[in-house]
Structure 1
Amino acid sequence: MAAPLPDIEVWIFDLDNTLYPASCNLFAQVDRRIGEFIADHFGIPYDEARAMQKRFFRDHGTTLRGLMVEHDVDPVPFLDYVHAIDVTPVAPSPELDRALERLPGRKVIYTNGSARHAANVTDRLGITRHFDVVFDIVEAGYVPKPDPRPYGALLDRHAIAPHTACMVEDIARNLVPAHALGMTTVWVKSEADWARPDQGGVGTASHIDHVAEDLVAWLAAVPV
């Protein structure tokens, strides 16, 4: 049984595969460009770069973190390159715009991507006006979710009381620190193996308060 939804003053949304459907498959473009960046940076074949990319992701949470920790790679050109993608597979969503409009309180984006990427996506969706904060990987000190440290930094920097906040994510393990801090958590259901509640060493779904099969429909049904 899902926990009741308390009065929420701040809504914290992940970006990719959360505010737009995973079927848009933007990450396939990003994934390809990450491999290309590594191949070019190290002067190695693409297949070898892909193997390095996946190891960094497995060992460090994101490929960028692995590049920075193990090879002192400058994150700025990396982020500029990998997020220079075509966002037209994302359709404008007046339905999402209306659903966000009816929610009381502040709206925040918290993403392992860049603020530039977030702006490109939210502009395409037609929802940029709703967000007064974009807490991106740069703001997080290049420490990716689900490391708990940037969650605390987000709350402190933007004066968010965790018991008044709701975090919405497609990757279930990224909700573990939010739940531990006292936030209400919403998992946007994903069919991806790595996004499920039983992956990433989590074990159970006790950190998930609500499951949204469809984010727009779920938001539209939230009592306000």
Structure 2
Amino acid sequence: MSDQKNNKVNQMIKKNDIQTWVFDLDNTLYPASTNLFAQVDVRMREFIAQYLSVDLDEAYKLQKSYFRECGTTLRGLMTKHDMDPEPYLEYVHDIDLSGVLATPGLAKALEGLGGQKYIFTNASTAHAERVMDCLGVSACFDGIFDIVDANYTPKPDASIYDTFIEKYAIDPSKAVMVEDMARNLEPAANLGMKCVWIENEADWGKEGADEAYVHYKTDDLQGWLAAL
């Protein structure tokens, strides 16, 4: 990350003024290049094919259609097929995490922030815990707000941000949220949070990246946090 970006961070955010740090999980705490989603993507397709008794090509079409229409494939399956979400979540997150490496520098940067730190994810708590253990950052966080806590309603539905801040008694005006999907920052910004987008080239990731609700951008979370 450039010195210019670091200087902007130092000028705009004082970590002592922040009470709560909110982080997405996947492609945020670890690089998108790890590409865990490729595994999840395949397992989603397999689950749909088995559950709906369709071939893999049709399953793929449904998977992407439900994602676009409902925010997550899971929500689409629940809405349109009255599916029990638990077997789905267990199946799609049963993936190889060997590519997620321990990151002592990230743990150190998180520990240096002060305040409360939470994971806010559209995935399950079990998946989040496994990833956090691999990264070596589990002890840095005070809680996980997952898709079950959100009653299976995914970000960026504004109502679940209200539920999240109520659960943990968060003052949004003294909070920072970090996300790889830019559009998921809009409700947080509307509540008064400072919003950080993890830069990436995925179409679903950069949608909304140039909007006013993205206050900061970085391609190096560890460096960004250390520069505060």
Does TM, scored on the shorter chain, surpass 0.5? yes
Distance 2:225 2:198 in 1: 11
Q: Spell out, residue by residue over 1:69-93, the C-alpha distance to the aligned partner (whole angstroms, 9 max, x if none).
A: 1111000000000001111111110
Query: For 1:5, which of 13, 27, 30 is the aligned residue?
Result: 13
Distance 1:211 1:186 in 2: 6
* Count of residue pairs the alignment pairs up: 218
Query: For 1:84, which of 78, 94, 99 is the aligned residue?
Result: 94
Distance 2:225 2:122 in 1: 23
Match of 1:115 in 2: 125
Distance 1:38 1:111 in 2: 22
1:183 is the counterpart of 2:183? no
Q: Spell out, residue by residue over 1:131-163, the C-alpha distance to the aligned partner (whole angstroms, 9 max, x if none).
A: 111000000110000110110000011100100
1:67 is the counterpart of 2:77? yes
Indicate the SS of the match to 1:86: coil
Query: For 2:106, which of 96, 121, 125 is the aligned residue?
Result: 96
Match of 2:213 in 1: 207
Q: Spell out, residue by residue over 1:85-122, the C-alpha distance to the aligned partner (whole angstroms, 9 max, x if none).
A: 11111111001011111111010000000000000000
Superposition pairs of residues 124-203 of structure 1, within 5 angstroms? 124-196=134-206, 199=207, 202=208
Q: Spell out, residue by residue over 1:163-193, the C-alpha distance to the aligned partner (whole angstroms, 9 max, x if none).
A: 0110000110000000000001001111112
Distance 1:4 1:216 in 2: 17
State the percentage of identical aligned residues.
52
Distance 1:19 1:145 in 2: 17
Distance 2:197 2:64 in 1: 25
Match of 1:48 in 2: 58
1:14 Cα offset (Å): 0.1
Distance 2:61 2:219 in 1: 33
Distance 1:132 1:207 in 2: 26
Distance 1:98 1:142 in 2: 32
List alignment gaps of at least 5 residues for structure 2.
1-7
**Does the 8 Å CA contact 2:179/2:185 hold for their aligned counterparts?**
yes
Distance 1:100 1:140 in 2: 25
Distance 2:192 2:222 in 1: 24
Amino acid at match of 2:32: A
Q: TM-score normalized by structure 1?
A: 0.95
Query: For 2:115, which of 85, 92, 105 is the aligned residue?
Result: 105
1:204 Cα offset (Å): 4.0
Distance 2:70 2:31 in 1: 26
List alignment gaps of at least 5 residues for structure 1.
none
Distance 1:96 1:47 in 2: 39
1:203 Cα offset (Å): 8.1
Q: TM-score normalized by structure 2?
A: 0.93
Amino acid at match of 2:195: T
Match of 2:4 in 1: none
Indicate the SS of the match to 2:12: coil
Distance 2:57 2:222 in 1: 38
